[in-house]
Amino acid sequence: MGANLKEVRERISSVKNTQQITKAMKMVSAAKLRRAQQAITRLRPYAEKQNAMLKNILANLGGEANISFGKERELKNVCIVVVTSNRGLCGAFNSNVIKAAERLINGKYAALRDSGNLKVLCIGKKGYDYYKKRIPADSIITDYVALFDDLSFDNVSQVAKYLMKSFEDETYDAIEVAYGKFKNAATQFMISEQYLPVTQAASLIDEEEKLESKANYIFEPGMEKLLNQLVPSILQSSFQKYVLDTHASEHGARMTAMDKASENAEELLKELKLSYNKARQEAITKEILEIVGGAAALEGG
């Protein structure tokens, strides 16, 4: 019985130590989340307004717009950008982002995957750790795995510039991004969006919306020159949004996961303490019975 009590005491101590760690991680994630949430909430209205403006212009111009980032070509080579976190302990966050990417890879682009014409660009170590075991090494782009070490606009825009150049050079005919879209600390959406070509975005506007937004634009300087300067800026902002959205989503998911882990530890502690008290009472009762039995034996003798 003594050995059983010692084992329960050790488990209680272990669970308490674990609970301290999960509570500390929750507090750290909460602090990081506040900063990450501020960053995405500042950028999102700007990026979304830029995208809305671009969609509006392209929808109104119809086939008149001839921009380099809007050329739809036969799909011969595709790049999927997978934006995950560097660290785990954030629930199913990373696996859900990867699932969003896998739906593209194994569905829409399955033929290109089989022919070896699909590349995966990994941002974040968790996505890289997943794909390095499952696809050929030459199908993974690892140059930006450590992007989360520096989330400045200048650094993140290097990835956007690489993707834009690759599209212009016809290295890739389409580029899609799988990432975590942040809503709040408890809710994130793991989705994929087409990044290039941009004209696909215009096709998402329904006819009624086109009629409502119809406008007669005057371009100064010329339309193509203006769009070819405007679109790269919008694409860089959009990519910054993908990364900051994922960054905030990661910390929200980790904070929620650590909160649940702390609650589970508290429940486990209650059960262990109950087990400990029962075992202790049984040991005390046994000792009393032995003493009474011994006393009775002495009296009888």
Distance of alpha carbon 15 from the chain centroid: 29
Report, in angstroms and rounded to the nearest whole number, the Rg of the chain calculated over CA atoms. Answer: 29
Q: Which helix (H) or strand (E) holds 187?
A: strand 187-196
Just list the catalytic residues: 90
Q: Which long-range contacts (CB under 8 A, 24 or more apart) does 280-289 make?
A: 280/5, 282/1, 283/1, 283/2, 283/5, 286/1
Beta-carbon neighbour count of residue 211 at 10 Å? 9
Task: Show Cβ contacts of residue 118 under 8 Å, excluding neighbours closer than 6 positions.
Answer: 77, 78, 79, 80, 105, 109, 112, 139
Q: What's the CA gap between 101 and 82, in Å, rounded?
A: 7
Can you say whether residue 287 is alpha, beta or left, with left for phi > 0 and alpha for psi between -120 and 50 degrees?
Answer: alpha
